[in-house]
Structure 1
Amino acid sequence: MSSKKAVIIGAGIAGIAAAIRLALKGYAVEVFEANATPGGKLSEVEQNGFRFDAGPSLLTMPQYINELFELAGKEPSKYFEYQKLDVICKYFYEDKTELTAYADRAKFTDEVSARTNEPTISLEKQAANSRVIYELTNPVFLEKPFRFKALLTKAGFKALVSLRKLGTGDTMHEANKSLFKDKRMIQFYDRYATYNGSNPYAAPATLNVIPHLEQHYGAYFPTGGMYSVTASLVKLATELGVGFKYNMPVDKILLEGDKVTSITVKGVEIPADIVISNMDIWFTYKKLLKDKPELHPQKILQQERSSSALVFYWGMNKKFDRLDLHNIFFSADYKAEFDHIWQQKTIYHDPTVYINITSKLNEKDAPPGCENWFVMINVPANTGQDWDTLVDEARKNILAKLSGQLNENVGELIVTESILDPRGIESKTSSYQGSIYGTSSNSKYAAFMRHANQSAKIKNLYFCGGSVHPGGGIPLCLLSAKIVSELVG
């Protein structure tokens, strides 16, 4: 048994990945999770014969998952299997345009040409711009702890002198509006801001890197659904000797001077050489270090939070051939929708609706002749709104929208339902205000102002997960774990 002890707070995907990496470095690792099951947002819901992935539903860059198994000398396919999607997503516009986003670049270009008035050259320029942003930011930002001295490296200098190419001077919408002629394609590319809970009318065009991750590297579906990512990594971690303690919320992080010494769980002190928090950064400080306000990063904790989500888990007693695994029903007025979320802190009457149906590829997720609909809209973070009223109104508006688009009374087909709103997201995943991605990216340098992966004031305290560098979403959470393992040494 190793003489070095690492304690990880939270069994979200980043916490599990960090546990694996530290176990491989020789640490004795224990993970303390407040819930009865692992995964955090990457969990599952089962109700009346239907299974739903509770949160993230799109898998990109699975190489970061495979890497964990390969580091352990394991064959990834024996733990975790997935297939590449031929169709990434189907899009439905209010003008009745239906657009299929094929993974194959040529097929997608032909589809856009057939369905819209967008010149092919625009798509080529977008793909090239997105690739350049990725190639400039990846070596100095996404896979490394962000430090200003990183700009003194060759890769850092290259990124610094290419700031114009990074799009920091424009918003996503401004960049897309200058590139595309067809408003449907502007809306198509603006939607990528929602991948990290931001507003395309405020977030920098640097975020136009996101389409490259999806369109160049592809989108995937794991056998058994997204929760199989969590299950497979927990299995690997357990085999490596990691101990998982469920229903064990951490009460406090204890210090001696400016150094972490232990945590307390249900009044019991547990010593640790290092502590890694996979808990939202806000709750890490405000709850676990509440008696040390002088050590709090006040400016970071006051930053604007990302958007949240309202999710309906609907068991449907009919199959819809027009729908695919991923489906988007766009709002007729995207600007108004985001203004309601970000300025008015409420829900627009015509929200963009996302539907994920895993039973399209995994029939076991729904009874015969049925489908499991994960129905989600973007909503503001919880700042005290009347959510009972908002949820009721949103449900009616979503049903009306989908019924009109699909020429079917969707509400009559629902045989089972559960609902998750920002209040539930906060209580179940310790995400402050129910924000899914920590802080928003609605300012020019917001991405560079996220909390670091290592405390600047507290020795042996580290951070991983969607609320810290490099950001939210499965790939970036896995990268945060990688960064932490390198910082620990």
Structure 2
Amino acid sequence: MPKKKALIIGAGIAGIATAIRLAVKGHNVEVFEANTYPGGKLSEFEKDGFRFDAGPSLLTMPQYIDELFTLAGKQPSDYFNYQKLDVVCNYFFENGSRIKAYADEGKFATEVSRATGESEKAIKKYAENSRKIYNITNHVFLERSLHQLKTYLNWNAIKSIFSLPQIDAMRTMHKANTSFFNDERMVQFFDRYATYNGSNPYAAPATLNVIPHIEQYFGAYFPDGGMYSIVSSLVKLAESLGVSFHYNSPVDEAVLDRQKVKGIKVKGELHKADTVVSNMDVWFTYHKLLKDHPKLHPQKILRQERSSSALIFYWGVSKQFPDLDLHNIFFSSDYKAEFDHVWQQKDIYDDPTVYVNISSKYKPDDAPMGCENWFVMINVPANTGQDWDKLIADARKNIIVKLSKSLDEDISQLIISETILDPRGIEHKTSSYQGSIYGTSSNSQFAAFLRHSNKSSKIDGLYFCGGSVHPGGGIPLCLLSAKIVSDWVT
């Protein structure tokens, strides 16, 4: 009996993982990617002697990557290796105080108590709450489809459903965090986790306070070779399983026979398939690939509020800073004002929170001798037609002032290489509608239930993976979306 044919649209991390899983199940798999390289948002580039991971810079839950190698009967360490971070991130506050977020829970609690006066008991109580939310939600809401009856017909699901009041969905993250801590710095510290899925802590449900558990309990890691080694190792695995990758091959159309997918058209050529999986943002999947079938569009979902986007400066810096680590956060003095600008005014606050990632701290050859490669990012609104050239120019000045003040050094004199990525570029390079990084936002109690399903309810044989669908954005959730798709495809 001939193998079933599965075509993947997009070689983002979820598309690659889906290809691996379907190949393991015996499907004949081909991946079509519009860019000349795999990875989607998880890409890399080199300039002026510096190497930059262009997209996601934080690795958590690497077991989901290891699992792909194990499924294929391979030894993960033959392809992909990583090290756990002792310090997850350095935090810099406007009043001059600093916090090292140690991976060790006890050391972290002691550090917070030292820096802010909050009791170690309060920190541990918060960690217990985050762990509780994870235990309730993980097996049902993250690892399974919310759109299949069988998801709810098991004991774990039943226990989770009866425990739903404990996931704190009726309060906002900010409201919940103020109930745990007296010090505003710690409220700001934990409010920041809303940005991990492009949301607003003053609107997003406190259920998202699950995220600190994922980072603190499971740890943060740095892959040998940098973040892009995740992509290169998984592509190597996929190819060893017989998966074919076609680059510079944008898909023109998803071809239907009534309401069943027949295949895809690439450069005018029809490629037939039993199964088509779109790793493209659902908005573009419908508005570009299925534009001739508007009656099949999920209009409510496509009108949902988009997540925030990012403005990134890739700076080659002609000095090394011992006080900085792999991950560094420089907080805004007024977090509420910053989020109001992003979500209500759709612009950029003049004192934004700045994230600085420096992979050369762990991979020295990412920068010339005596230099560092700075990935400098702030959260910005999705692109709705703003004057980005002006916003970028103003933001650049404000970021340099902020970092220079915190580090007691004129950063502007140290920048010897610069590349900029804004929401327009993110949309163009990754087919992410409006440049939103995580698809739709999570700024409502029911957002998790309203994301697009991993299977089309109207088109037989069409599936979806990636950050714009269930269970959400970020590397771990994208990998889980691939698992959900492969469990669904026969």
TM bucket, shorter chain: over 0.9
Q: Distance in 2 between matches of 1:255 and 1:194?
A: 38
Separation in 2, partners of 1:410, 1:400: 8
Identity %: 69
Contact 2:318 2:371 in 1 (8 A): yes
Are the counterparts in 2 of residues 2 and 26 from structure 1 also a CA contact under 8 Å?
A: no
CA 1:373–1:71: 2 relative to 1, 3 Å: same
* Aligned counterparts of 1:165 and 1:147: Cα–Cα separation in 2: 22
Q: In the alignment, what sits opposite 1:458?
A: 459
TM-fit CA distance, 1:471: 0.4
TM-score between the two structures when normalised by the length of structure 2: 0.99
- Unaligned runs of 5+ residues in structure 1 are none
Letter in 2 for 1:308: S
Partner of 1:88: 88
Letter paired with 1:471: G
State the alpha-carbon separation in 1 of the partners of residues 64 and 139 from structure 2: 15
CA-CA distance at 1:403 after TM superposition = 0.4
Cα distance in 1 between the residues matched to 2:168 and 2:193: 15
Tell me the amino acid that sits aligned with residue 428 of structure 1.
Answer: K
State the Cα distance separating 1:213 from its structure 2 match. 0.4
2:358 counterpart of 1:357: yes
Compute the displacement of 1:24 (Å): 0.6
CA contact (8 A) 1:2 1:27 kept: no
Match of 2:57 in 1: 57
Letter in structure 2 aligned against 1:419: I
The 1-side partners of 2:297 and 2:265 are apart by 19
The CA deviation at 1:2 is 4.5
Please list the CA deviations of residues 371-403 of structure 1 after superposition, one character each: whole Å capped at 9, or x if unmatched: 000000000000000000000000000000000
Aligned equivalent of 1:184: 185
Q: Aligned letter for 2:281?
A: D
* Amino acid in structure 1 at the alignment position of 2:217: H
**1:119-176 deviations in whole A, cap 9, x for unaligned?**
1121111111111111111111100011373345322232222222101110000000
**AA matched with 2:439:** G
Corresponding residue of 1:292: 293
Deviation of the 1:219 alpha carbon: 0.3
AA at the equivalent of 2:339 = F
| Matching residue of 1:134 | 134
Provide the residue aligned with 1:116 in structure 2.
116
Q: What residue in structure 1 maps to residue 445 of structure 2?
A: 444
1:169 and 2:173 correspond: no
Q: What letter corresponds to residue 363 of structure 2 in structure 1?
A: N
1:475 and 2:485 equivalent?
no
Aligned partners of 1:93, 1:417: CA distance in 2, in Å? 26
- Superposed counterparts of 1:343-382, under 5 Å: 343-382=344-383
Q: Distance in 1 between matches of 2:320 and 2:40?
A: 30
Q: Equivalent residue for 1:34? A: 34
Equivalent residues of 2:136, 2:164 under 8 A apart: no
Kept in 2, the 8 Å contact 1:305–1:439? The answer is yes
SS at match of 1:315: strand
| Superposed counterparts of 1:75-474, under 5 Å | 75-147=75-147, 149=149, 150-474=151-475
Deviation, structure 1 residue 199:
0.3
Specify the SS of the correspondent of 1:343. helix
Poorly superposed stretches of 4+, deviation over 6 Å: none
Question: What per-residue deviation string (whole Å, max 9, x for no partner) do you get for residues 337-378 of structure 1?
Answer: 000000000000000000000000100100000000000000
Within 5 Å, give how 1:4-43 maps onto structure 2. 4-43=4-43
Q: Helix, strand or coil for the counterpart of 1:372?
A: strand
Structure 1 stretch displaced more, 391-400 or 142-151: 142-151
Any idea what SS the aligned residue of 2:264 has? strand
CA distance in 1, matches of 2:75, 2:362: 24
Shift of 1:411: 0.7
Note if contact 1:117-1:181 (Cα within 8 Å) is conserved in structure 2: no
Q: Is the 8 A contact 1:8 1:15 kept in 2?
A: yes
TM-score normalised over the length of structure 1: 0.99
In structure 2, C-alpha distance between the alignment counterparts of 1:152 and 1:6, rounded to whole Å: 29
CA distance, structure 2, for counterparts of residue 110 and residue 385 of structure 1: 44
Distance in 1, Cα, partners of 2:448 & 2:328: 28
CA RMSD of the aligned region, Å?
A: 0.9
For the 8 Å contact 1:20–1:240, the answer to whether it is kept is: yes
How big is each residue's C-alpha offset from its partner over 1:198-220, in whole Å with a ceiling of 9 and x where there is no partner?
00000000000000100000000
Structure 2 Cα separation of the partners of residues 436 and 113 of structure 1: 34
Moved more, 149-158 or 334-343: 149-158
Counterpart residue type for residue 333 of structure 1: D
Q: Could you say what secondary structure the match of 2:66 adopts?
A: helix
Q: CA deviation at 1:117?
A: 1.6
- Runs (5+) with no aligned partner, structure 2: none
**By how many angstroms is 1:115 displaced?**
0.6
Query: Secondary structure of 2:94's partner?
Result: coil
Q: What is the CA-CA distance between 1:89 and the residue it aligns to?
A: 0.1
Distance 2:457 2:194 in 1: 30
Instruction: Give me the whole-angstrom Cα distance separating, in 1, the residues matched to 2:136 and 2:163.
Output: 8
What amino acid does structure 2 have at the position aligned with 1:137? T
Task: Say whether the 8 Å CA contact 2:142–2:480 is kept in structure 1.
Answer: yes
Amino acid at match of 1:24: V
Distance in 1, matches of 2:153 and 2:340, equals 39
Cα displacement (A) at 1:282: 0.3
Partner deviation per Cα, 1:96-125 (whole Å, 9 max, x = no partner): 001000001111111111111211121111
**Equivalences, count:** 489
Whether the 8 Å contact between 2:89 and 2:328 is mirrored in structure 1 is yes
Amino acid at match of 1:105: E
**Can you list the C-alpha shifts for 1:404-456, whole angstroms capped at 9, x where unaligned?**
11010001100000000000000000000000000000001001110000000
Measure, in 2, the Cα distance between the counterparts of 1:106 and 1:24. 41
State the shift of 1:80 in Å.
0.5
2: distance between equivalents of 1:205 and 1:160? 17
